[in-house]
């Protein structure tokens, strides 16, 4: 393990992640991936530590992934479920977090429907002088770092299964297709892909990809570099010669907001199918963060095609990457040469 070179305490956003940090995550995840291939998929790394999964916004999939990652590191887990919780009793979010701190939590994994909550909790933890680490498991439309990191790990493992590393992404063309506007997954992926040297092409109807997204590439252009970020209001230019196609989940409830005419219409214009992939590189692979609306973002046939779809690998990578993240931010405290 390479934790010794890791200095980041919280993982809130990928905006300022360095290539060196991506490489540590990829390398650590790869070693846990190996652990997961053993019959007994467990290591004692976080024994006696407490990981609290505070999912103010419910999510069975991501919560279970983090829970499993924590259990495989032998940590004890606490789960916060909204609804039947103190929140409905008038307690503030920060006070809820302080309660979990006082119970002895070591790492807080936080999902919240509002952007900024994990950051606010991380600041509160530092204000009161605690050693707790905060891991953002999705905040509003802001970021979802562990998803982008598992996507990156999945891509790099395709390119070199033995030694996944950030430099493999250099010059690769990645198309991100779908509801960019509302997607925290897209935002986090933008940071990781661009930092690792990929060229990112966003494709969506204008209502889901406003002009202001262009500004995300601006800093690079101003620095004299060619912007690695491209916007398209149709699918074809984004897919042309692409190495990877990332589809985003379409939340059906958006329909009520008249952002596009019908789901059928959406699929016809932006749904990914075998046919649509013809203009990509011959080695193209397709990703989706799940849960998938079959036949909308992606055709059912494509989703089930193991030669093209990386969806299952993304879920598997999720456990390894989350083990890596919990290990990296937990190891400072665990370390002390004691474990």
Which is closer to a second copy, CB of 16 or CB of 91?
91
User: Which of 18, 48, 274, 283 contacts a second copy by CB under 8 A?
Assistant: 48
Residues of this chain, 249-288, that bind a second copy according to CB under 8 A: 249, 251-252
Q: Where are the alpha helices (DSSP H) in the chain?
A: 19-36, 60-72, 93-103, 117-127, 145-159, 184-195, 218-222, 236-239, 263-270, 300-303, 311-334
Return the bridge partners of 231, or none.
202
Near a second copy in 299-318, by CB under 8 A? 306, 311-316, 318
Q: Measuring CA to CA, which residue among 184, 174, 177 is closest to residue 269?
A: 177
Binding flag, residue 91, a second copy (CB under 8 A): yes
Phi then psi for 284, rounded to 5 degrees? -55, 145
Minimum separation from the CB atom of position 229 to a second copy (A): 29
Long-range contacts of 308-313 (CB under 8 A, 24+ apart): 308/274, 308/277, 308/284, 309/285, 310/154, 310/155, 310/158, 310/285, 310/286, 311/286, 311/287, 313/154, 313/157, 313/158
Chosen residue from 7, 38, 262, 282 binding a second copy by CB under 8 A: 38
Selected range binding a second copy among 196-204, 238-246, 264-272, 290-298, rule: CB under 8 A: 290-298
Q: Tell me: does residue 65 bind a second copy (CB under 8 A).
A: yes
Of residues 8, 207, 292, 332, which one binds a second copy by CB under 8 A? 292
Q: Does 92 bind a second copy (CB under 8 A)?
A: yes
C-alpha 330/C-alpha 38 separation (Å) is 23
Give the binding site for a second copy (CB under 8 A).
36, 38-42, 47-50, 58-61, 64-65, 67-68, 71-72, 76, 78-81, 84-86, 89-92, 95-96, 98-104, 128, 249, 251-252, 290-294, 306, 311-316, 318-319, 333-334, 336, 338-339
């Amino acid at each position: 393990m390479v934790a010794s070179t890791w200095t980041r305490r919280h993982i809130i956003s990928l905006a300022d992640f360095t290539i060196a940090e991506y490489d540590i995550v990829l390398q650590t995840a790869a070693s846990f991936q190996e652990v997961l291939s053993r019959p007994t998929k467990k290591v004692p790394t976080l024994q006696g530590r407490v990981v609290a999964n505070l999912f103010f916004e419910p999510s069975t999939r991501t919560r279970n992934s983090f829970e499993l990652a924590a259990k495989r590191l032998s940590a004890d887990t606490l789960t916060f479920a909204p609804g039947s919780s103190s929140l409905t009793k008038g307690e503030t979010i920060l006070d809820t977090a302080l309660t979990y701190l006082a119970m002895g939590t070591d790492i807080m994994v936080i999902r919240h429907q509002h952007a900024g909550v994990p950051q606010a909790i991380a600041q509160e933890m530092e204000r009161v002088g605690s050693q707790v680490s905060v891991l953002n498991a999705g905040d509003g439309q802001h970021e979802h770092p562990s998803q982008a990191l598992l996507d990156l790990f999945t891509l790099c493992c395709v390119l070199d299964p033995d030694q996944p590393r950030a430099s493999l992404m250099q010059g690769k063309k990645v198309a991100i297709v779908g509801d960019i506007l509302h997607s925290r997954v897209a935002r986090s992926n933008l940071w990781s892909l661009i930092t690792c040297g990929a060229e990112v092409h966003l494709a969506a109807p204008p209502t889901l990809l406003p002009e202001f997204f262009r500004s995300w590439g601006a800093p690079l252009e101003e620095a004299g570099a060619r912007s690695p970020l491209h916007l398209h209001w149709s699918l074809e230019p984004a897919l042309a010669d692409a190495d990877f196609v990332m589809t985003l989940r379409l939340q059906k409830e958006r329909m009520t907001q008249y952002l596009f005419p019908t789901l059928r219409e959406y699929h016809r214009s932006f749904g990914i199918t075998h046919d649509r992939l013809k203009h990509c590189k011959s080695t193209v692979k397709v990703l989706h963060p799940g849960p998938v609306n079959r036949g909308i973002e992606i055709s059912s046939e494509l989703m089930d095609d193991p030669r093209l779809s990386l969806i299952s690998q993304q879920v598997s990578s999720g456990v390894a990457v989350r083990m890596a993240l919990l290990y990296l931010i937990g190891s400072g405290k665990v370390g002390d040469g004691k474990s």
